[in-house]
Amino acid sequence: MKMTPEYLKAQENMHAGIISSSGFLGSDSRLISDIISNDEELVQALGMNFTEITNRLKFFMEKALNGFGNPVTVDEVWEVFSEEARGVIPCPFEDGSFKKINIYVKKKGSKDSIVFSDLGIHLIEKHHFFQGRDAFFRLDPEKIKKILF
Amino acid sequence: MDILTFIVAPMVLSLLSGALAFIIVLVDSLVNNYPDFTIDINNGRKKLTAKGGSSLLVTLSSQGIFIPSACGGKASCGACKVKIESDVGVILPTELPYLSEEEKKDNIRLACQIKLKNNIRLSIPEDLLYVKQFDATVESITDLTYDIKQIKLKLLSPDSIDFKAGQYVQLIIPPYGQIPEKTQRAYSMSNTPSDNQHAELLIRLVPGGLLTTYVHKFMQVNEKVVFTGPFGDFFLRDTKAEMICVAGGSGMAPIKSIIYDMYEKKNFDRSIWYFFGAKSARDLFYLDELKELERLMPSFHFIPALSNPDPADNWKGETGLITNILDKYLKTVIKASSPKEAYLCGSPGMIDATVKVLNVNGIASEKIYYDKFA
Q: Is the pLDDT of residue B374 over 50?
A: no
Going by C-alpha positions, the residue among B283, B295, B292 that lies closest to residue B322 is B283
Which pLDDT score is estimated for B373? 57
For residue B88, what are the domain limits?
Answer: 36-128
Q: Is the pLDDT of residue B229 over 50?
A: yes
**Long-range CB contact pairs, A6-10, < 8 A, 24+:** A6/A93, A7/A31, A7/A32, A7/A33, A9/A93, A9/A94, A10/A92, A10/A93, A10/A94, A10/A127
Which has the higher per-residue pLDDT, A91 or B181?
Answer: A91
- pTM for the model stands at 0.81
B147 and B221 share one domain: yes
Structural domain includes residue B323: yes
pLDDT band at B96 (very low <50, low <70, confident <90, very high): confident
pLDDT band at B199 (very low <50, low <70, confident <90, very high): very high
B173 and B147 share one domain: yes
pLDDT band at B28 (very low <50, low <70, confident <90, very high): low
> What number of other Cβ atoms are within 10 A of residue B9's Cβ?
11
Instruction: Sort residue B229 into left (φ over 0), alpha (ψ -120 to 50) or beta.
Output: left
Pick among A73, A86, A119, A122 to test the B interface (most B CBs inside 10 A): A86
B199 and B89 share one domain: no
B212 and B247 share one domain: no
CB B253 within 8 A of CB B188: yes
Which pLDDT score is estimated for B165? 97
Name every chain B residue with its beta carbon within 8 A of the beta carbon of A120. Answer: none
Going by C-alpha positions, the residue among B26, B72, B27, B66 that lies closest to residue B172 is B72
Q: For residue A100, give how far its alpha carbon lies from the nearest alpha carbon of chain B (Å).
A: 8
B246 and B327 share one domain: yes
Each residue's pLDDT tens digit, B126-177:
989 999 999 999 999 999 999 999 999 999 999 999 999 999 999 999 888 8
B283 and B315 share one domain: yes
Which pLDDT score is estimated for A41? 96
Q: Is the pLDDT of residue B179 over 90?
A: no
Name every chain A residue with its beta carbon within 8 A of the beta carbon of B179. Answer: 16-17, 21
Q: Among B128, B158, B188, which residue terminates a domain?
A: B128
- CB within 8 Å of B225: residues ≥ 6 apart: B135, B136, B137, B138, B153, B171, B172, B173
Structural domain includes residue B342: yes
pLDDT band at B27 (very low <50, low <70, confident <90, very high): low
Q: Among B73, B94, B128, which residue terminates a domain?
A: B128
Q: Does A108 touch chain B (CB under 8 A)?
A: no
Which has the higher per-residue pLDDT, A21 or B269?
Answer: B269
pLDDT band at B3 (very low <50, low <70, confident <90, very high): low
Name every chain A residue with its beta carbon within 8 A of the beta carbon of B353. Answer: 68
Which pLDDT score is estimated for A96? 83
Contact A88 B76 (CB under 8 A): yes
B254 and B364 share one domain: yes
Q: Among B99, B128, B157, which residue terminates a domain?
A: B128
Phi, psi (5° rounding) for residue B58? -65, -45
End-to-end CA distance of chain B: 68
Distance of CA A46 to CAs A56, A113, B206, Å?
15, 19, 32
Pick among B80, B206, B212, B218 to test the A interface (most A CBs inside 10 A): B206
Going by C-alpha positions, the residue among B264, B229, B262 that lies closest to residue B245 is B262
Candidates A68, A86, A88; nearest CB to B186? A86
Which pLDDT score is estimated for B190? 97
- Give me the mean pLDDT over the B225-231 stretch: 95
Residue of B nearest to A19 (CA): B210
Q: Is the pLDDT of residue B47 over 80?
A: yes
- CB within 8 Å of A125: residues ≥ 6 apart: A50, A54
Q: Does A67 touch chain B (CB under 8 A)?
A: yes
Distance of CA B330 to CAs B279, B334, B365, Å?
22, 5, 16
B148 and B168 share one domain: yes
CATH of the domain at B265: 3.40.50.80
Name every chain B residue with its beta carbon within 8 A of the beta carbon of A21. Answer: 177-179, 208-210, 213-214
Candidates B207, B321, B374; nearest CB to A70? B321
Phi, psi (5° rounding) for residue B218? -120, -30
Structural domain includes residue B324: yes
Structural domain includes residue B173: yes
Q: For residue B306, give how far its alpha carbon lies from the nearest alpha carbon of chain A (Å).
A: 9
B118 and B137 share one domain: no
- Give me the mean pLDDT over the A46-62 stretch: 97
Which pLDDT score is estimated for B320? 93
Q: Is the pLDDT of residue B272 over 50?
A: yes
B51 and B115 share one domain: yes
Choice among B106-115, B152-161, B172-181, B320-329 with the minimum mean pLDDT: B172-181
Question: What is the Cα–Cα distance from B374 to B354, expressed in whole angstroms?
Answer: 16
Instruction: Give the distance from CA B24 to its chain's centroid.
Output: 41
What percent of chain B has pLDDT above 90? Answer: 72
Q: Is the pLDDT of residue B180 over 70?
A: yes
Which has the higher per-residue pLDDT, A112 or B158?
Answer: B158
pLDDT band at B44 (very low <50, low <70, confident <90, very high): very high
Name every chain A residue with its beta carbon within 8 A of the beta carbon of B112. Answer: none
Each residue's pLDDT tens digit, A55-108:
999 999 999 998 888 889 999 999 999 988 877 888 999 888 888 899 999 999
- Give me the mean pLDDT over the B32-58 stretch: 89
Per-residue three-class SS string for chain B: CHHHHHHHHHHHHHHHHHHHHHHHHHHHHHHCCCCEEEEEECCCCEEEEEECCCEHHHHHHHCCCCCCCCCCCCCCCCCCEEEECCCCCCCCCCCHHHCCHHHHHCCEEEHHHCECCCCEEEECCHHHHHCEEEEEEEEEEEECCCCEEEEEEEEEECCCCCCCCCCEEEEEECCECCECCCEEEEEEECCCCCCCCEEEEEEECCCCCHHHHHHHHCCCCCCEEEEEEEECCCCCCCCCCEEEEEEEHHHHHHHHHHHHHHHHCCCCCCCEEEEEEECCHHHCCCHHHHHHHHHHCCCEEEEEEECCCCHHHCCCCEECCHHHHHHHHHHHCCCCCCCEEEEEEECHHHHHHHHHHHHHCCCCHHHEEEEECC
Name every chain B residue with its beta carbon within 8 A of the beta carbon of A26. Answer: none
CATH of the domain at B148: 2.40.30.10
Mean of per-residue pLDDT scores for chain B: 90
Which has the higher per-residue pLDDT, A52 or B373?
Answer: A52
Structural domain includes residue B222: yes
B225 and B286 share one domain: no
Total structural domains within chain B: 3
Which pLDDT score is estimated for B74? 74
Structural domain includes residue B2: no
pLDDT band at B81 (very low <50, low <70, confident <90, very high): very high
B139 and B224 share one domain: yes
